[in-house]
Structure 1
């Protein structure tokens, strides 16, 4: 009788937001590989195979996944509750696992590329400008009506998001947003008043399943 190969799932991130996914995967009988920079993270302690590497370090994560995969094939890679979509996509693409193309993951996490793509596809987006320097921001303030919102183009959870109601607020808002940016690239956009709607959904085989 041929013994069925044990399946392995790589979960990017070992923090509290990933713990439910780790528990679910283990309850399904999967061997769980977890990557996180913190070896003492709760999810890392639960993992069958913990690998210490930052979720944001794409190259090191891909290399670690390749090394593991060479001796113990991975069957999938995922994350939940992190901004590591590009890392997941890079691993999936490198190992030919199910996943989205890297450029799609990049557009979903880079607010400037996201808005440009949405605009190209005819989806209404707020008027915006990319910002690298305080001079870029001052130019945008001259060209766009206040109030404006400035934020990192590559972070989530409202980190570094500031409203600019008056021109004299630009400098402090710029520096706070800059500190929260991974790359240093910011986006300033017109303020849109109204309710904020948010949802979680899974797209599979062309179908959208709302999950929360």
Structure 2
């Protein structure tokens, strides 16, 4: 079967032509870039699927931040920006060091800690200059400037089924140093006091409720700050190494 996986309509046509109705048991992807397409394909072949709108809102990290802010879920202070000047101004307001990232990339690509407003502005200029991602898809042309949270990081793995979220486990994460903070080690299960584990779990439950995600796996990154859990991002997929 040959088709352009960046064209969801073409993907649906190719799959429904190649397979008889009822013979596909499930549709999944480990790639951030195809989560919405996988949900659309599952729906097209008559399988249960997560809401495409809910997935898209998580894929856009700026939209996710706004959703969590409306729901009062713990997260870093943030601003969505489109150019160098706006980024530098946002960094000055939020404070440095800060974190700058594209709203729609994956794998920590162009995610860095910036120690000055000028550095944040320069990185945003670099981000918005990229017109297509590694899969050849058009980029959003926007970036996030976020408060830098100097706190331990965890991921909370959940699975939604029939309107209920089930906790799979909590992972303790070790990352490399500044400025990129790439994940280098995972410890499962995280060695946490029961009350702290429940606090992280509840933060993630509140975040998932706010987004409308309710079916399938989610991998949510969260930092444990002095004031409680703070969501870094939500990935509507299985955790991958």
- Which category of TM-score, normalised to the shorter sequence, fits these structures? 0.5 to 0.7
2:200 — aligned with what?
A: none
Cα displacement (A) at 1:73: 5.0
2:168: which partner in 1?
A: 210
Name the SS for the 1:189 alignment partner.
strand
**The structure with more strand, counted as a fraction of residues:** 2
Select which of 67, 72, 75 maps to 1:122.
72
Gaps of 5+ in 2: 134-138, 170-238
CA contact (8 A) 1:163 1:173 kept: no
1:197 aligns to what SS in structure 2?
A: strand
Which of 81, 91, 115 is 1:165 aligned to?
115
Q: Distance in 2 between matches of 1:144 and 1:132?
A: 16
Q: Which segment is superposed worse, 176-185 or 119-128?
A: 176-185
| 1:92 counterpart (34, 38, 42) | 42
Is structure 2 residue 144 aligned with structure 1 residue 184?
no
| TM-score normalised by length of structure 2 | 0.58
Deviations 1:120-173 (A, max 9, x none): 222111111111222321331343222211101111221110222112213431
Corresponding residue pairs, total: 162
Root-mean-square deviation over aligned CA pairs? 2.6
Give the secondary-structure state (helix, strand or coil) at the position aligned to 1:78.
coil
Q: Distance in 1 between matches of 2:153 and 2:108?
A: 13
Q: CA deviation at 1:177?
A: 3.1
> Quick one: distance in 1 between partners of 2:114 and 2:2?
42
Q: Give yes or no for contact 1:161–1:177 (8 Å, CA) kept in 2.
A: no
Higher relative contact order (CA 8 A, sep 6+): 2
1:64 pairs with one of 4, 7, 14: 14
Which of the two has higher C-alpha Rg?
A: 1
| 1:200 alignment partner, SS class | strand
| Counterpart-to-counterpart distance in 1, 2:140 and 2:14 | 23
